[in-house]
Amino acid sequence: MLLRLRTVPAFLQKVPQALTIFCLILLGYGVKAEEIKSPNGQLTLEFSLQRGGVPTYHLTYKGRDVIKPSKLGFDLKNAPSLTSGFAVAESKQRTFDESWQPVWGEVKTIRNHYNELAVTLTQAATSRIIRVRFRVFDDGLGFRYEFPKQDKLTHFVVKEERTQFALAGDHKAFWLPGDYDTQEYNTTTSKLSQVRALMKAAVTPNASQTTFSPTGVQTPLMLKSQDGLYINLHEAALIDYSTMSLELDDKNFILETHLTPDAAGDKGFLQTPANSPWRTVVVSDRAGDILESHLILNLNEPTKYKDVSWIKPVKYVGVWWEMITGRSTWAYTDATNIKLDSTDYRTLKPNGRHAANTAHVKEYIDFAAKHGFDAVLVEGWNVGWEDWFGEHKDYVFDFVTPYPDFDVQELHRYAAGKNVKLIMHHETSGAVRNYERHLEAAYKFMADNGYNAVKSGYVGDILPLGQHHYSQWTNNHYLYALTEAAKYHIMVNAHEAVRPTGLARTYPNLIGNEAARGTEYEAFGGNNPDHTTILPFTRLMGGPMDYTPGIFQTQISALNPENKSFVHSTLARQLALYVTMYSPLQMAADLPENYNKHLDAFQFIKDVAVDWDDTKVLEAEPGDYVTIARKAKGKNSWFIGSSCDENGRTSTVNFSFLDPGKPYVATIYADARNAHYEKNPQAYTIRKVNVTSKSRLAQYCAPGGGYAISVVPATTRR
Amino acid sequence: MLLRLRTVPAFLQKVPQALTIFCLILLGYGVKAEEIKSPNGQLTLEFSLQRGGVPTYHLTYKGRDVIKPSKLGFDLKNAPSLTSGFAVAESKQRTFDESWQPVWGEVKTIRNHYNELAVTLTQAATSRIIRVRFRVFDDGLGFRYEFPKQDKLTHFVVKEERTQFALAGDHKAFWLPGDYDTQEYNTTTSKLSQVRALMKAAVTPNASQTTFSPTGVQTPLMLKSQDGLYINLHEAALIDYSTMSLELDDKNFILETHLTPDAAGDKGFLQTPANSPWRTVVVSDRAGDILESHLILNLNEPTKYKDVSWIKPVKYVGVWWEMITGRSTWAYTDATNIKLDSTDYRTLKPNGRHAANTAHVKEYIDFAAKHGFDAVLVEGWNVGWEDWFGEHKDYVFDFVTPYPDFDVQELHRYAAGKNVKLIMHHETSGAVRNYERHLEAAYKFMADNGYNAVKSGYVGDILPLGQHHYSQWTNNHYLYALTEAAKYHIMVNAHEAVRPTGLARTYPNLIGNEAARGTEYEAFGGNNPDHTTILPFTRLMGGPMDYTPGIFQTQISALNPENKSFVHSTLARQLALYVTMYSPLQMAADLPENYNKHLDAFQFIKDVAVDWDDTKVLEAEPGDYVTIARKAKGKNSWFIGSSCDENGRTSTVNFSFLDPGKPYVATIYADARNAHYEKNPQAYTIRKVNVTSKSRLAQYCAPGGGYAISVVPATTRR
């Protein structure tokens, strides 16, 4: 024992013990637990070393197990594991309580209030030190690993993170197949014990996909216990680390981290001092609390930018849906096998279906200006689309050369004259190096031509092959593109990139991400009718999604007779999504011609805010329904959205969030009684009613339907 | 048969047959050969389709087999092989004869004279077309594959190139182990049949190495047949393709291409139209002809640069050898585990051995100015060297931040005042993406601070792991760095990069490469005494090497008592290398203090040219000796160098290359009679003799020795 004690590093012996709880555990014997509670006392986190010096944690909510005692640790490459043989060298607790204001968000002010336990562990046999930092909030737990700077642990390679989440039972899970390259799956809802049997059917085709296990699932993973606990597992502040999936032990209902590897199978190159991302457990017995949680944002660092005045929420239309549906094309010609550096487009015959032409884009600009949109996205403006996909082509786009029929200067002039911005589009085709080579020139081109936002895309396999969309190497790229963009005051909406983990707090020019099955899939066979009742509990936990709602013409064949897909939603529900699917970047994705046929309904999209002072989840049950009310930034008006599953229901709105005693007018955009997402999607009603904080509204939602309500003070007139 | 004929594409049937030799072979039957000869008639190249439509070629020299009938073709990924089932659709011959002047080189004018046979092959079963283009020069053969633009072959992935070189016997070979990451091996000289037995000993340790086969060898591969044919195999114009090694069938003495894979095992992503690099066979019965060959340069494209006036040969000294020997350090401190973005070097204690400090660099500048050198290389000037190697660290250098003791502006001012340039140093540590991210800023920093040349380095494994130094992906990087540098009028000397293949013709700012075991290894245990008698026949076939000769203090312990290595060369031979190891970039690598002790010998280094109007190989036998005379660019003076192996010999110089009738003075820097590379390396003599074109000189070379001669017109006085 004396020998062991001698192995404690000298600096640890200097730690002021009066300020800390200092406990050195005898290796291989006994358990000494430490616990902290959430500020409201409902959550309890207990850390202990199990026999053999194995670090574990245990989380309860109102006395019920959320995470049963679960192991912590790492396997390293060419080095002993960091999973056992630990003793507690130091343990510190503190309380933190601060409020902060996001640059954009669901609420004006966010309270960051937690109790913290930081346990420093020494592995005597290797003289290595790690620290596990737990933060217990009223809405859940975050914890991360910290690797302090030390002599015996400098550079190291993660073979696998060994963090367990031992669940208390065979919970209902809302899951996507674990995949290194895509999140664009429909959610499967099942018991954990059914994951294995349902996996094959869950893995639908994608442009790039790499599943890894018959029981691997993604985060954010939404769970519901049989006794009504809602549990969400995800991660926060994913920086310089590979993305976490979860490997399910479906006998014992233990989930364990499975990191995304690189080409050599390595899962992380770290250098001390270093931290893992936070592993997050959001929990409540009320589903709405999950949606109202800001735990993931709170675990991210405050913004690194001194000036954020250039970052603004955006409502936009775009030259996009007409290509998605197959009506028009990104490509200028029908040529194939194009090489950028030897192709003179002026010599090629246009195909006549190229949407991003100057005249047509002006129509979108006119529409945007007329209806008060901030911006117009234009895809397919730049050369290369004839030969961009599926061949692992490296030099696929240069991001600065327009097609002959797209006049950059003229469109900039025209849009500026109407106070409309154009949104740039950078499809990388997964050729990450090629994009980085062109990044500075592309951003400068944007700045020179009046663009202040870019939608980027990573369709297809990441190049060089062997890297994945969620490898540390690729994750570093997304952040590089984001921070380089900030230098040019450019906002980024990255599609097919890594799922967000609250990084937009730190880098608020990340105004959008896809990272899930968006509206585009409604033209590729459809999303499940309950899709938008689940996404807020899963994908949106990490950050906003550019879901691109607002499709009024839900029959794709109306745009392209060959495409028999239809949008699995009523028109009214399409309006609701502007509220239920929070994003500071919202598209009205349908074509102007379709909006012109329903200008009464379109009014809601024109009116709805994209930035908020407050948010109330009125009703929520993952997979069944979501009803949310939000208060517009700097205004006294509210917007309510409700989305329900394929069964339809009658929703109840309690207007108690309104200022007491004040009269309001609510405009209700709702499914007609005979509406149905498949059979009668465009049947909607619009009515106005007077409401106060005492009002209650029972509102019908059709199967696959929903409703949207704008609530303005009665004195206000449009 | 009729059916097969119908599969010939229509456009091929239109080929004007009067101008071509058109032959359509019956698949699976018979052989129809076509042949062309070299301009002087000594080489014959025969192409034929073997049974089953297998394309083959056959090369003879003066009636002797150089390459016996050998197969051609490709295996593709997820597509049928391009190895058989071919018919000849078209065959064209032409003669080409043109002379051109290199920007810098061994001769003033290069004649590019060949007969060409281009055979277009159709694979009926797949409707795919390939073309093999053969060029037969008096000094050898070059051939490449061409993949014309076509419908049935657009994008494709090379699984392996299947080009064979069937040798006529168990030749003597000068070989390096085949490796995806390094060429820094001593050459093993053996019969081909002995390669397997000697491989293990041949694979000595390196900072990054990936061998692939017990009989894999590198190119340039030098061979000598028992009947005295000298054969060199290499490649030319390696662009957007992975580097070729050769896999030896040591029973039948057939070499076959083995390309460098990427992380996924793929060996090349091609899009039609595309060409392979040229595969080259230089052959003669006189060894000197191999060294005088310009075949590889001739197979490269003329320069792509409009303005080449900024590209100048460079003779330089540098802050380098003192670190290589261990006397001083690249790093400013003895700190470890440094992170660039969180390290303030001003707070760290200098180690007192950092060579790249302002005062010390000024000493080098003074020395360079005094002795007429163009430039001073400074390594270790930039932050990061404390933690740069062996950990696969990504952000290892930023290439623009100097150590606190290195004053960029002051040194620029000081050097400019003495008409000396500083040479920039960019060690990438293999972190290719990190380098590309910083490239533009680093080049701009150079331009802003008066640098016009950079030595770049790729020590360690290429990142991301799985890519290799010679993968297509990485080869593309080297060319990218080179062409980006050209935009800033920067010359590049890339170390640990891919071996050159004559690309400096096209991109003449590639003034140097390492890509072999250079002088640095003399401080790491030593190079074989015959090393410099082999390199001209191997590594230098593709382009110049920054061998960094000129070490006068051959006992490394004189600089660092702990280092017992010694240079395996006499001092006189160190002088010879400036002539025998052609490069437009030549370093005097030793320390000024060592040159100051031998200023009489140093005079040769000061005098020797680095650009040439003419070159004559006077004597040569790979592994034994090389004696070369070169005429200085624009002058009537000549310089002669001779290097011999560990046995020593008496060399004969025939001065017939001098202008007839003119008197010259030759200054001969030679080994003393008792000199020996190990026992007495610094024993040299210097003498002057009068010579004319009729003079003959018998000159002794000590074991591991050599000599250098400057020959100037007698009327010229220094």
Report DSSP letters for A606-645, one per residue: HH--SSEEEEEEEEEETTTEEEEEEEETTSS-EEEEEEE-
Cα(A509)–Cα(B356) distance, integer angstroms: 41
A429 inside 8 A of chain B by CB: no
Provide the greatest CA pair distance for chain B: 85
**B12 half-sphere exposure, CB direction, 13 A CA radius:** 28
Higher pLDDT, B277 or A25: B277
Q: What distances in angstroms separate CA A553 from CA A252, A360, A677, A678, one per listed residue?
A: 47, 20, 12, 12
What is the arithmetic mean of pLDDT over B225-229?
A: 97
Cα(A456)–Cα(A387) distance, integer angstroms: 18
Quote the percentage of chain B above a pLDDT of 90.
95
* Residue B520 a catalytic site member: yes
Decide if B367 contacts B317 (C-beta within 8 A): yes
Residue carrying the six token digits 């592993």: A279
In 3-state terms, what secondary structure has residue B675? Answer: coil
What is the arithmetic mean of pLDDT over B628-655?
A: 97
Structure tokens at B40: 């002087």
pLDDT for A22 equals 37
Residue carrying the six token digits 């020593």: B648
Residue carrying the six token digits 């961009």: A388
Residues in chain B: 718
A298 closest CA partner among A165, A135, A493: A135
Question: How large is the C-alpha radius of gyration of chain A?
Answer: 26
**B312 half-sphere exposure, CB direction, 13 A CA radius:** 11
Model confidence, pTM: 0.94
Residues of A in contact with B391 (CB under 8 A): 154-155, 269, 271
Residue B434 has pLDDT above 70, yes or no: yes
Hey, CA dihedral for A257, A263, A266, A271, is it positive or negative?
A: negative
A220 closest CA partner among A209, A204, A235: A235
A336 inside 8 A of chain B by CB: yes
pLDDT-derived band at B16 (thresholds 50, 70, 90) equals very low
Decide if A452 contacts A310 (C-beta within 8 A): yes
CB neighbours of residue A631 within 10 Å: 22
Cα(A183)–Cα(A166) distance, integer angstroms: 24
B466 inside 8 A of chain A by CB: yes
Measure CB to CB from residue B464 to each of A273, A440, A467 and give the nearest one: A467
A272 inside 8 A of chain B by CB: yes
Decide if B630 contacts B639 (C-beta within 8 A): yes
With an 8 Å Cβ cutoff, are B263 and A154 in contact? no
Decide if B669 contacts B642 (C-beta within 8 A): no
With an 8 Å Cβ cutoff, are A269 and B440 in contact? no
Out of B520, B522, B562, B593, which one is annotated catalytic? Answer: B520
Spatial neighbors of A636 by CB under 8 A, at least 6 apart, are A659, A662, A712, A713
Structure tokens at A75: 């396997």
Q: What distances in angstroms separate CA B374 from CA B315, B423, B588, B695, one per listed residue?
A: 5, 10, 11, 34
Residue B1 has pLDDT above 60, yes or no: no
What is the arithmetic mean of pLDDT over B561-586?
A: 98
Cα(A296)–Cα(A287) distance, integer angstroms: 16
Q: Are strands A638-644 and A453-457 parallel, antiparallel or unpaired?
A: unpaired
Residues in chain A: 718
Residue B18 has pLDDT above 50, yes or no: no
Q: Which fold has domain B32-298?
A: Beta-galactosidase; Chain A, domain 5 (2.70.98)
Q: Are strands A140-147 and A278-284 parallel, antiparallel or unpaired?
A: antiparallel
pLDDT-derived band at B715 (thresholds 50, 70, 90) equals confident
Decide if B290 contacts B538 (C-beta within 8 A): no
Cα(B272)–Cα(B258) distance, integer angstroms: 22
Residue carrying the six token digits 């890594």: A498
Mean pLDDT by 10 residues, chain A (718 residues): 34 38 40 89 98 98 98 98 98 98 98 98 98 98 98 98 98 98 98 98 97 98 98 98 98 98 97 98 98 98 98 98 98 96 95 98 98 98 96 96 98 98 98 98 98 98 97 98 98 98 98 98 97 98 98 97 97 98 98 98 98 98 98 98 98 97 97 98 98 97 98 77
B299 closest CA partner among B165, B164, B143, B162: B143
Residue carrying the six token digits 């075949």: B295
Q: Please give the mean pLDDT across all residues of chain B.
A: 95
pLDDT for B31 equals 54
Decide if B295 contacts B139 (C-beta within 8 A): yes
Cα(A234)–Cα(A538) distance, integer angstroms: 9
Cα(A714)–Cα(B89) distance, integer angstroms: 83
Decide if B85 contacts B55 (C-beta within 8 A): no
Decide if A123 contacts A86 (C-beta within 8 A): yes
With an 8 Å Cβ cutoff, are A269 and B149 in contact? no
Buried/exposed code over A94-111 (b: 16+ C-beta within 10 A; e: otherwise): eeeeeeeebbbbbbbebe
Cα(B432)–Cα(A500) distance, integer angstroms: 27
A398 inside 8 A of chain B by CB: no
Residues of A in contact with B480 (CB under 8 A): 437
pLDDT for B430 equals 98
Cα(B67)–Cα(B71) distance, integer angstroms: 11
pLDDT for B7 equals 37
Q: Which positions of A are annotated as active-site residues?
A: 520
Higher pLDDT, A49 or B29: A49
A314-608 under CATH 3.30.930.10, yes or no: no
Domain boundaries of chain A, sorted by first residue: 32-298, 314-608
pLDDT digit string, tens, across residues B31-85 = 568 999 999 999 999 999 999 999 999 999 999 999 999 999 999 999 999 999 9
Cα(A621)–Cα(A306) distance, integer angstroms: 39
A-chain residue closest to B156, CA distance: A391
Residue carrying the six token digits 């209700």: A668
Cα(B466)–Cα(B205) distance, integer angstroms: 19
Cα(B350)–Cα(B436) distance, integer angstroms: 30
Decide if B361 contacts B378 (C-beta within 8 A): yes
Q: State the DSSP H helix or E strand holding residue B177, giving kind and residue range, or none if neither.
A: none
This model of the complex carries an ipTM of 0.93
Q: Are strands A453-457 and A491-495 parallel, antiparallel or unpaired?
A: parallel
- The whole-angstrom distance between A333's CA and the closest CA on chain B is 16
